[in-house]
Structure 1
Amino acid sequence: MAQKPSIPKGTRDFSPEEMAKRNYIFDTIKEVFTLHGFRQIETPSMENLST
């Protein structure tokens, strides 16, 4: 029998309901930050253990 894939340790999945709430919160934060002149950057969410 094939092994079920697992997510990396220390991470979790979010349900559609949780994602709707999270997206609303993050969209609100982004809007406020943009109004105050901040610009978005994106950095890696996972790093090698050696760093």
Structure 2
Amino acid sequence: MTENAPGPTAGKAAQGHPGPPRWAKMLAIGAVVAVIVIVAAMLLAGGGHGPGMHG
């Protein structure tokens, strides 16, 4: 009789895709921080934008 020997991954949970690489996560975090800083700067600078500003 031949018995089926357990493979090297026996007993481990099946793993799916490991996710995005670290550089992609850091790039996304940096982009979000940059957008927050730009929006905060626009709000703090005031709303005096328009054609009269250049005249």
Which structure's relative contact order is higher, taking Cα pairs within 8 Å and 6+ residues apart? 1
* Larger-Rg structure: 2
The structure in which a higher percent of residues are helix is 2
TM-score when scaled to structure 2? 0.40
